[in-house]
Structure 1
C-alpha cells in the first residue's frame, strides 16, 4: 500500500525540487510524496507565516488519517516571530538553530491540532536556504545551469564553510544572494532545479547532514507504515 506524504513547501523552487528529484526515488520506496505550496491554492509561496502552516498541516493530517506531513522551507526566510526563531547569537551552531525551530514548531502545532495526528508530522527546516544544496558540488551546479565559467567562483564560496548548510544567512551572504551576485537574471525555480538535477541527490546527502537526516526520517515511514497495516 502506497503511503502519502504531504510536503508543505515554501516556494516554487522547493516544490519543483521535490517533484523532479524526490518523488521518483521515494515512489520506489512505497512513498508518494505530494508537494504543495504553503497557503491557499494559487499562492506562489514565500512569507511563511505560522498561521498558514497550521491550517495546511491540520487539513492534511485530519483529512487523511494515514497520510504523513512534513515541511520544506528555509530557515533564512522565516520571520523572527516564527516559533523557535528568536535566536540572536551568531555563534549558535546550525544543528541547535534547526532543532529549536523544529521542536518549537511541532510543540505549538501539537497544542493546536492533536497529539495523535501529530505523530504523523515530520518537521524540517533547510539550513540556511535551499540553494545551499547546490553548493554540494559547485562544478556540477555550474555545469547544470550552463555557467561553467563560474565554477571556480562557486568552489571558492563552498570552501569557506564547513558544509553547504553552513553558508550564512543574511540579506547579503545567503546562498541565493551569492549566486545572484554571480549570475544576473538567476531564475530560482528553473535554474535551481537544473542545477540540483546535475548535482544529484547522493552528493547532497553526503555533504548536507541535516538534509540527509530529514530524508532518512521520510525513509523510515515505510517501516512504521508497514507495521501498522
Structure 2
C-alpha cells in the first residue's frame, strides 16, 4: 500500500513540477505526492487567491488543515527561502554561517511551531529556479539564442559551488538571472519543463538540500515499516 504525501506548494510552477517530475519519480517507491497551492487571500465574497507567500498566519492555518487529513502520512512543503515574510518562525533571530545552515535553522523553527509528528517542512534554496542552474545548457536549449544564454548562465553557475547558493538579492536571484538573458522565460511553463529535461537524479547530485528532502520522502515507507 502506498503512502500519500500532501505538499503545500508556493504556486503553479511547483504544482506542475510535483505532478510532472516529482510524482513519477516517487511512484516507484510507493509514495504518492499531492500538491496543494497555498491560498494567500480569501475575500469576503469568497474569492480565493492562490500562490505566493504573504502572511505566515495564513500558511500556518492551511498546514494545520492538511494535517487533519487522515489519509495523508506526511505533510510537507515546497516554498521559497527567498523573500520569506518577517513573521516566519525563526526569521527574526536566524542563525547560521551559510545559506544551508540558515535554511535548516528556519525549517527546524517551522517544525517546532507546527509541532506535529506528520509535518516535515522544506524550504527551497533560494527559489525554484535554483535547481535549474544544475544545467545551464538545458535552460538554454529551450530558447532560440542557445549559445549566448548557455554562456551567460554558465558564467553565473561557475561562481557558486552549488546551484542552491545562487543568492536572494532582488536583482540576482535565480529567476532574475534567467530572465535577464532569456526575457521570454515563463516560469510556470518553462520551469518544470527544464527540470524534467535535467532529471531528478542530476538535480539531486548538485543540490544537496533538495536531495535530502527527496530522500526523506523516498525512504519514508522504510521508516514507517
TM-score by shorter chain over 0.5: yes
2:91 aligned counterpart, secondary structure = coil
5+ residue gaps, structure 2, are none
> What is the match of residue 46 of structure 1?
52
Map of 2:177 onto structure 1 = 178
TM-score (norm 1): 0.88
Q: Which residue of 1 aligns with 2:193?
A: 194
Q: Is the 8 A contact 1:142 1:148 kept in 2?
A: yes
For 1:55 and 1:175, the matched residues in 2 are separated by 29
Name the count of aligned residue pairs.
218
Question: Among residues 100, 103, 110, which one is paired with 1:95 in the alignment?
Answer: 100
Q: Residue 177 of structure 2 aligns to a residue in which SS?
A: helix
1: CA distance between counterparts of 2:14 and 2:27? Answer: 18
Cα distance, 1:88 vs. partner?
7.3
The question of whether the paired residues in 2 share the 8 Å contact of 1:38 and 1:48 is answered with no
The CA distance in 1 between the partners of 2:20 and 2:27, in whole Å, is: 12
Provide the residue aligned with 1:134 in structure 2: 132
Structure 1 residues without counterparts, runs of 5 or longer: 111-117
2-side partners of 1:159 and 1:87: how far apart? 31
The TM-score with structure 2 as length reference comes to 0.90
Q: Please give the root-mean-square deviation of Cα atoms over the aligned residues, in Å.
A: 1.9
Structure 1, residues 7-44: CA drift from partner, whole Å, max 9, x if none?
Answer: 10011111111111111111111111000111269533
Deviations 1:72-122 (A, max 9, x none): 011103112211223578x83012111111011111112xxxxxxx21111
Equivalent positions of 1:189-228 (< 5 A) are 189-225=188-224, 227=225
- Counterpart of 1:57? 63
Aligned twin of 1:157: 156
| In the alignment, structure 1 residue 105 sits paired with structure 2 residue 104 | no
